[in-house]
Structures are given as structure tokens and as C-alpha cells.
Amino acid sequence: MIDRYTTAVLSALMLAMILLPCPVMADDSTSAASLEEPDDEKTGESSDKTAVGLHGIELKELEEDYEPKPKRFIIPPYYSEKSERVKTTAVFPLFYSRQRTGEGARKDLGLMPFYWRYREGPSSADVYFPLYWRFRDPEFKTDIIPPVYYNRDDHGYNLGLAPLLFLGKDERRKSGYQVLPPLFWNFKNKHGGFMWAGWYYDYRNRGDSDRGVPPLFFSGRNRDKTYLTILPPLFWRFTDEVNYKTTTVLPPLFFKTRENGWSAGLVPLLYFARDENWARTLITPLYYGSRWGKGRSHYFPPLLTYYRHSPNLSQGGVAIFYHWYEKEGDYLKMYSPLLWRYGNERTDDRSLLVPPIFYKRDTPVSDDTMVGLVYWNFHEHYRERTFALMPIFGHNWSLHEKRWRTWVAPTFDVGVHPDGYHARIYPIFYLGRGKRDNHLVLAPIFWRFVDEEDRNTVVFPLIWNFRDLAHNSLDRAFFPLWWQFDDYRRHDYKRVAFPLVWDFNDEKNDERSTVVAPLLWRDRDPVSTMTGVFNVVLHKGEIKENPFWTFQIFPFIAMGKPPAPEGAYWSFLGGLAGWRRQGSTKELKILWIPFDLTKDEE
């Protein structure tokens, strides 16, 4: 509220400082009219601007909210300005007067810097600088006798003795404040407040609160949660009233509660927790125990011993020597490292292992026996059986179909199955036939692989024959004389009778290149054909329905017709002498120097 009137005084002083140094000038309205409006005498138009419905510049000024130009008179330090409603007079820097009439009438008077006042309706201000400030308004009253100020209205007051004391109260907003800097600060409103007194602080807002004496004590509430700290980190307490939780810490001790249980401990040595359906106990490093429903578990780390039990589970162990496990029919008993017994009582599955001497497994559908990694007898009832004296001999046969296999390490392997057979003598001979493929290998000389998509034969290193039936292609080589690469699907054929004959034929794109070295070469594409025999070359074709041809005997003679409606050329020894005509252009070469004869004929 005080700043409002201080701003008005400063604005008046700044206006005077800006306007007084201006040079003496004539009436602004006259000068402006001389630049912007036509002279009445010259135009012959009436100067009466009060009539409505005028045209030209008068109508434009009315439509653009025209305001008449003020009249100014300046003889420094005197300044005067007058308009229809405002009159301003100033004698810089001592005197300032401003009077506004009509709506919002106001009077300002200043005898700088000792006295200033204003009157605007029921509002007024008087300043007797620097002794007394007086402000009156229908809504408030303010008096200032530095350093004391007093502001009041119907709802409260503001009182201060700067910078020692500040007081205030607002009944309408239910707020107030008391400040004695820097020791005491107190602000309050209808929702709460904040107080700082020395080291003590207290904050309240809609039921939430925080208070404390740093760094000794802190406490507070946020909705349904509270906290309390005394001499941190010596004591901590947190609560959650909605979830029925509390946490109390007195390091290294802690205690926590919840709706259905609690937990406590001495970190890191002890930990205890209890709930309706579970429990935990830890005594470091001697013991760990837990409870879940009807289940229990106990661990004794120094003894390497544990025990777990529930209605469907029994498990335990003593050191590394004995372990057992039983769950829903599955079982394991291990006398490490001598004996292992495991299986499933429901499926009558039993296994015995005495590593590495003996292994035995019996099930309703199989019997397996192994002695010392040497004797193997695996019997899958009604399906197959395997007998082996490892690693020398092994035999596997089927009990329900014509299928068997016998191998004698390290070279012999032979077998029969419903779709064929195989015979192998590693690493030289491989023979096999299946339902869709067969092969024969006499390494490293002969290789033959046949299936539904390929026919591949190699007689190393002379003959290579790869037939791809799926992609209809053939790659064949009789090394090093004959090479054949045919893609029947794309009509692309490449053949080489090395090193004399080379033939590349792309029927799809109508392109072919043939070389019979060193006598003949021929190259054809959809546009032209070029044929060469020794040093004689003939090239002919057609470009955009214009035929052309060239004939050359290297390096002596060259002649031909270019792809143009009219034209011909000949040349001797690469341009020692020559002639060229194309349309109306004519050129003669003598000693490789061209002479344009077109202009001479013109």
C-alpha cells in the first residue's frame, strides 16, 4: 500500500526531469497540424471539427479515437503543459503542480523535496519529507514517522519500527504476523503458520506440522504419517497410522511393528521377525531359521548343516557327506561322493550311482546298466536296445522294426534302417541311402551326393559336376580345360574351352560374347553386332531406326557410316588422311590436322 504512493511521487519527479531540459518550442498542436493537416485557407474547407459526418483527415481522427494535442510552453527551468482536462506546471527542481478535471479529477502539488500532496476524490496524501507521510483512502489509513509506520483498515492493521519490529493482523483473512529480526518470526493464517524463534521452528498447514530444534530434535506429521528424531542419528521413530506400521531405531537396535506382526534386530548380528503366516530368525553367523505356514527350515552355517520340512517336502544335509530330498514322490539320498540313490516312487523309477564304477536305472519301460564306463547295456522295452564295450564296440537294434547299427572303433560303422542303409570306413569310405537321398565317398578322390534337389559329383581334382534341380542350373568343370555354368531358368549360359574358346550367351537380354583366341571374337547386343578376325573388325547395327556400320583394318584403314540420315567417313593410318561427312558438315584431315570444309562451300 505504501509503494503505491511512493511510485506516484517518483513518476512525477522523473517526468519533470525529462521534460524541463527540452528547448523552447511553439505549440505542438500548431506544428503538428502544419505537417499533417492541409491549410484551411488553401483547401477552402471549414475548420469546424465539431460536426459529425465529416470526411478526410477529420473523419479519420474521430475514427482513430483522436485526442487533441496538448499545448506546451517551456522556458527552462519553467515548464507548462495544458490540454482539455489536464494542466501541468513545473519549475524544476523546486515546484510541481498538476490538475486533472472531469472524470477521475485529481490535484497534485509538490514543493521539492520537502512537501508533496495529492487529492483524488476521498483519497489524499501529504508528505512532509523526511519527517511525516500521511495517506488517506476509504479503505485504509497510513501514517509514517520514520522509522515508525502504522497502516490500518476495518479488518486489521500493520505496525512497524524498522528494522526492529514488524506486526500485522488481518481479521478478514484470519492472518497475522510478528517479526523481531533476526530472533523471532511468526506468520499465521487460517490454515496454519510458521514460527522461527532462535533455533526452534514450527510449521503448520491444514493438520500437517513440522517442528524442531536443529540439530537436536525434529518431529512432524504429514496426514497419517509421523516422524520423530532426537539427536540424529541416535534415535528415529516413524509411524503410519493407516497401515498400522511403526519403525523405531536406536542404532544398532531397531524395532518395527505392522498390523499382523513385528520385527526387531541388532544390526548386523541379530534379526527376528514374526507374522501370522511366517517367521524369520537370524543369529549371525551361527543360525538362520524360517517358518512359512506349516513349513520349517533351519540352517547351521558353521556345521554346513541344514533341514527343511513341510507337508510335501523333506530335505536336509550334514556337511558335504550326506543329503536327502523328498517331495511328492521324488527322492534323493546322496552319500557323497560314494553313493547316490534317486528316483520317483509314484512312477517306480529307481536309480543307483556309484561313481565312476557302476550305474543302474530301472523303470517300468526301461532297464539301463553301466559298469566302469566300459560295459553299456541300455534296454528300452519293446523299442530298442544298445550294447557296447566302450570305446571299441557297440551295437544298437530296434525291437519293433528293421533297424540296427554296429560300430567298431575307430573305423567301421554299418547300419540298416527302414528307408535304406549306411556303411562307413573312417575316414576313407562313406556309403549311404535314404528315403530321399544317397551318397558315396571315396576320400579324397570321389564324391557323389544325390537328393531331390541336387546331383553333385566330384572326381578330385579333374571333374566337378553340380546340378541344382530346384533352381534348374548346372555347374560343370573338366579341370582345367572345360568350364560350364548354365542357368536354364534365366537362359544364361557360360562355357569356356580354356584357353582358346570363351562363349557367354544371355538369351534373355539377347546378348552374347564369343572369343576364339587369337583368331576370332564376336560381341552381340540388341543394338549392334561387332565381329573381329585378326585385325579386321566389322561393326554394324541400328540406333533409333538409323542404321550404321564401320569397317576397320588396324591400323591402316577405317571407313563407315554413322547413325544419321546422311553421312560417311574414311580414314587412313588413324587420321594421316581422312574424310568425314555428316549432314551438311564436311571435314578433311591431312597429317592428322582437321579442316572444316562446310563454310567454304557456303
- Check residue 599 and give its pLDDT: 61
At which of 223, 249, 276 does a domain end? Answer: 223
Backbone φ and ψ for 17, nearest 5 degrees, come out as -65, -30
Same structural domain, 109 and 169: no
Q: Quickly tell me which residue has 531406326 as its cell.
A: 545
- Write out residues in the chain with pLDDT < 70, as ranges: 1-68, 599-602
Per-residue pLDDT tens over the stretch 319-346: 888 999 999 899 999 998 889 999 999 9
As a whole number of angstroms, the distance between CA 456 and CA 435 comes to 17
As a whole number of angstroms, the distance between CA 413 and CA 426 comes to 8
C-beta separation of 454 from 466 below 8 A? yes
C-beta separation of 81 from 71 below 8 A? yes
Same structural domain, 167 and 182: yes
CA 37 to chain centre: 66
At which of 128, 146, 164 does a domain end? Answer: 146
Per-residue pLDDT tens over the stretch 20-40: 333 333 333 333 333 333 333
pTM above 0.85, yes or no: no
Q: Is residue 545 part of a domain?
A: yes
As a whole number of angstroms, the distance between CA 84 and CA 67 comes to 9
Same structural domain, 12 and 128: yes
Same structural domain, 160 and 132: no
Cell triple for residue 248?
523405531
- Check residue 465 and give its pLDDT: 95
C-beta separation of 10 from 17 below 8 A? no
Q: Greatest CA separation found in the chain?
A: 138
C-beta separation of 477 from 464 below 8 A? yes
* Beta partners for residue 263, in sequence order: 256, 273
Which residue segment(s) compose the domain that 200 sits in?
A: 151-223
Q: Is 352 left (phi over 0), alpha (psi -120 to 50) or beta?
A: beta
Q: Residue 582, SS3?
A: strand
As a whole number of angstroms, the distance between CA 96 and CA 13 comes to 9
At which of 146, 166, 195 does a domain end? Answer: 146
Same structural domain, 142 and 162: no
**Structural domains counted in the chain:** 3
Helix (H) or strand (E) holding 28: helix 28-36
Same structural domain, 4 and 99: yes
DSSP character for 71?
E
Same structural domain, 193 and 88: no
Q: Is 163 left (phi over 0), alpha (psi -120 to 50) or beta?
A: alpha
Same structural domain, 95 and 161: no
Q: Quickly tell me which residue has 504419517 as its cell.
A: 225
